[in-house]
Amino acid sequence: MTAIIETPRLLLRNWQEDDRAFFHEINSDPVVMEFFPALRSREESDALMDRIVAMAREDNFGFYAVQEKASGDVVGFTGLMKTDIPPFVPKGVLEIGWRLAQRYWGKGYVTEAALASLAYAFDERGQDEVVSFAVHNNHRSTAVMKRIGMVNKPERDFDHPKVPDTHPQLKRHVLYTINKEQWLNQHDKTTA
């Protein structure tokens, strides 16, 4: 097992075969998936994990398994993926995202892993912008976006075309962004 990104408490690594049950757990938990139109079956979770693994192999970006160093437990995922939601998010824009099992909420893991992911995107991979988006009233996710220095761009908010009309309450998405200059300005302040 090789860590792609490492923080003081966490390893962000590729998914492994024995992670499948956990991956299904977080994708089928009604509280974790509150702002998604459906829970995923085991087969759907396995297919999603296979897609994530394949995408990570292509360009070394991905939603990586987040493993707690102290216990060795996988706690969720965080990472960067190229996205494509035309015309709202152009093809190839880098999205940061996360999902965590409930029992690990409130420990700062998502913020820690997300900050390390942004450092990877800007400092190591030379990206110009990273975006994140969530259902407009998903305050848990937007709070993380704010904590990691992202800013809402209301003019870029959108109705997600992949959310079915049967779930109108989940259609409106807010988009947050951070660019390399903002990241470097924030990073310089925290290390000065």
Would you call the peptide bond into 168 cis, given omega within 30 degrees of 0 as the criterion? no
pTM reported for the whole predicted model: 0.93
* pLDDT of 179: 95
Tell me the C-alpha distance between 6 and 10, whole Å.
Answer: 6
Q: What is the mean pLDDT of each run of 10 residues along the chain (192 residues)?
A: 87 96 97 95 96 86 95 96 90 94 97 96 94 97 97 96 94 97 82 46
Domain range enclosing 166 = 3-191
* pLDDT of 3: 77
> Residue 88: helix, strand or coil by DSSP?
coil
Element containing residue 134 per DSSP (H, E): strand 129-135
Number of domains in the chain: 1
* pLDDT of 39: 95
Q: What CATH number is given to the structural domain containing 63? A: 3.40.630.30
DSSP code string of 152-189: E-GGG-EE-TTS-TT-GGGTEEEEEEEEHHHHHHHHHH
